[in-house]
Amino acid sequence: MTRALLLIDIQNGFCPGGNLPVADGDAVVAIANRVIEKGGYDLVVASQDWHPANHGSFASQHPGKKPFDMGVLSGQPQVMWPDHCIQGTPDAEFHPDLDTARIDHVQRKGENPAVDSYSAFRDNDKAALTGLSGYLKSKGVTELDLMGLATDYCVRFSALDAVDMLPGAKIRLIADGCRGIDPKGVEEALAAMAHAGVEIIDSSRIGI
């Protein structure tokens, strides 16, 4: 039995002061560090949004569009985001207080400018895999805990894909280790994850 922790996009860009800040996003850092220390995980993995400067999900790439407008990318509805987590910039770096020394593997995502990648496992069109599922399977992962940013986007998509792509594995969401963008979206995301079989837990249960 191999237990793994997946930290989702705990980057400067999604924390206060970043280009796409999630309210209170930096509050998950201390929880992540505590969970890493106390959880007894065999493996700690972190996903990292890693966009080229011309990424098609950026409003700046679509004349007349403003951040958070709806648009189309590769034929699919797409939220137009502010430029964020551009490769090699401070915005894309992990939060400086995150215990990155304990991270065994970093999975970058969102590198294809033609499609967005909320999930740590695959692009939104579900055509291209990031390689994370293969990595976790190669390590024999049977239990996966997830937490990070943002609940209603990258956390939700990653958790649902974990259920789909790691059949038989126990998937748990550390709910207090997440923060979301839209309260209604967070509520819907938690319901969707629970419906798919993700166990919703609190970090106080980790390491007991």
Active site (catalytic) residues: 9, 109, 154
Phi-psi region of 95 (alpha: psi -120 to 50; beta: other; left: phi over 0): beta
Contact by Cβ (8 Å): 32, 63: no
Which of helix, strand or coil describes residue 69? coil
Q: Cβ neighbours of residue 110 under 8 Å, at least 6 residues apart?
A: 49, 50, 51, 55, 57, 85, 116, 117
Retrieve residue 181's tokens. 């963008």
